[in-house]
Each structure stands twice: as C-alpha cells, then as structure tokens.
Amino acid sequence: MAKKNEKKYSFDDINAELSNLNPLGSVMEHSSFSEVTEWIDTGNYHLNACVSGSLFKGWPNNRSCSIAGPSGTGKTYLVLNSINRAIEMGYNVIFYDSEAAVDREIMKKFGIDTNKVNYQPVSTVQDFRTSITTITSRMQEAKRAGAELPKMMIILDSAGNLATAKEIEDAKSGSDKSDMTRSKVLKSIFRIIMTPLADLKVPFLFTNHTYQTQSFISQQVAGGGCLVPGSKVVMANNTLKNIEDIVEGDIVSTLMGNKEIENIWTFEKKTYRVEFEDGSIIECSEDHRFYIGDEKDDPLDDKNWVFAKDLVENSEVSRYIL
C-alpha cells in the first residue's frame, strides 16, 4: 500500500513567512527595493559622470552620497546646484545646516524655490539623529497606510561640523576633556537611516571635511592618530613589525581580531612620549588613542578609549595599539 505524501514545507511557504516578518522583503525577481528609479542631475556633467557613469544621470534617488573635501573647495556650491535640479524634478528638500552658512538669499541666487526647502539649523549629532529618524519613521508609517508621499531629498551640510551634547556641556563647565562619543553616534545614525531612506526612495546627500597632510607628497585624509617610525605593530602571526614597514595587504592583530591593512597615510604632527611602568615608551601624536577598557568592554565603544593628550600620570591602559 502506497504511503500518502506528507505536505512539504516549500520555498513558497518560506516566502509567505518572511513577508509576514518583513514587509520590505520579497522574492528578488519581484523586488525593486534597492533599484534606482530616478537620477538627480548634480548640475555638473563631469560630476554626473563620476557619480553615475553617465553625463546625464547624477545622484541616485535611493542612495546616500557624500561630498568630501577641504574647507572652501565648493562642497556647498555643489549641494545647492543639486538642490536646484532636484526641485525642478519635483522634489522637496529638508536642509540640515550645521554651519549656518546658507540663507534664503544664497539659495535664491542658485535659482532655488525656497518654498520647496525646509531649513533645519542643527548643532549636535543627537539633534540630527532625533530629527531624521523621526521624520523617516513617520513617512514609512504613512506609506504603509497607503498615503501618497511627496518626492523628498535630504541634505546635511555638514556632518563634520556637528558637535555632541557632551561637547557642549563640557564647554559650559570649562572641561577640556576630549569627547569620544561623536563617531559612535554618527555611525549609529547611518546604520539606522539607510534602510528607511532606500524604502522611501529618498536621496541623502551630505558634505564632510577632509584634511591635507604635510608630507612631501601631500594627500587628502581624514584626521586621526598616528605613531612614529620604529613603533612596533603586532602582526596576525604574533611577530612584530615596525609601523613604517607595514604595507597594504598586511594582516595585523587588533582588539577585534586580525584585520587587513587597506590604506596607509603619513602625517607630520606634534608628538607625545608616553612611558609605561615596564619602562617601554610609545611616541605618538596627541590624537592617538589608547584602550582603557577591559576584556568585557566593547572596543567599538568610544568611551573605552582615551587620547594621548588626555593621559595623566598613573592612567591605566589595556593595549598600546589598536
């Protein structure tokens, strides 16, 4: 006697389960979530080509893009041109300004319809995070309820000028301690808003600052701590290597496991000599960071690090180098 076939748990069943768990997901053949459905002219043919590979495209409507460069190089100029083109395409704009560098008359000089721009002065990363996460959440709720949403573009000028609530409080109290929470909050913002913005097809354009090194062949880099030649770095195989001998592709040991070196920079900075109780000495820049947490602490949490310039006698550190 033949056995009756038992009901199978098919891929269609899994798809149905996943659709209940995540309304944004679907079978890839039918998914348009990550697709760029519109390109926004930057106002510059060359920049269009650099961003999209076409002279006639520009900023994708469901991506976050950064314009980075030294102060005074025209980042805001490029942003304002992009806003003008976006509004001509039917977009409305939320403009977060952390530099108080843009006013109504400046926008009008770029041909921008200022009735289509909501201007939001912002000074801290916490204020920006609260605002952008709240508005994107409200828009997603409206979309789920079947509402027709306006075409939106969000601007932040600039990410690099945002302070933190702690930094402001320290300034009021006269404290000179470095605030190491800023990068953590910024990373949190980008982790939170990327998926909602893609869901809403809202392009996010932000500016950021870079800094010029003073080496023989100057480079544009982000600021950061560094060590002097002769400093020893622990490699993945537990051998030691002078920092000046490190090359791209080397694997080094860090608090977060073995990591591959992707980029190398050279700086000229004021240095500090930090002597430890075992007699060893580390010479580094003032903004080089030392780990003060223990094995149970999170090495990604900025509160577990301290800058060299903020070390005092009898400070305890766990590791010299990350």
> DSSP labels for 135-188?
HHHHHHHHHHTTPPPPPEEEEEE-GGG-B-HHHHHHHHHT--PPP--HHHHHHH
| Predicted pLDDT of residue 181 | 67
- CA 181, 182, 184, 189 torsion: positive or negative? positive
Q: Which CATH number fits domain 35-209: 3.30.450.20, 3.40.50.300, 3.90.25.10, 3.90.870.30?
A: 3.40.50.300
Alpha carbons 38 and 151: distance in angstroms, whole number = 11
Alpha helices in the chain (DSSP H): 11-21, 45-52, 75-88, 104-109, 125-144, 165-173, 182-200
Alpha carbons 146 and 140: distance in angstroms, whole number = 10
Q: How many residues are listed for the chain in this entry?
A: 322
Alpha carbons 41 and 55: distance in angstroms, whole number = 9
Residue 126 makes CB contacts below 8 A (sequence gap 6+) with 164, 165, 185
Q: Has residue 272 got a pLDDT over 50? A: yes
Q: For residue 117, list its beta bridge partners.
A: 93
Alpha carbons 313 and 234: distance in angstroms, whole number = 26
Structure confidence by residue, pLDDT tens digits, 273-322: 888 777 778 888 887 888 877 767 766 666 778 888 888 887 777 654 44
SS3 274: strand
| pTM for the full predicted model | 0.64
| Predicted pLDDT of residue 215 | 45
Please state the domain extents for the chain.
35-209, 220-310
| Predicted pLDDT of residue 133 | 95
| Predicted pLDDT of residue 259 | 79
What's the CATH superfamily of 220-310?
Hedgehog/Intein (Hint) domain (2.170.16.10)
| Predicted pLDDT of residue 252 | 84
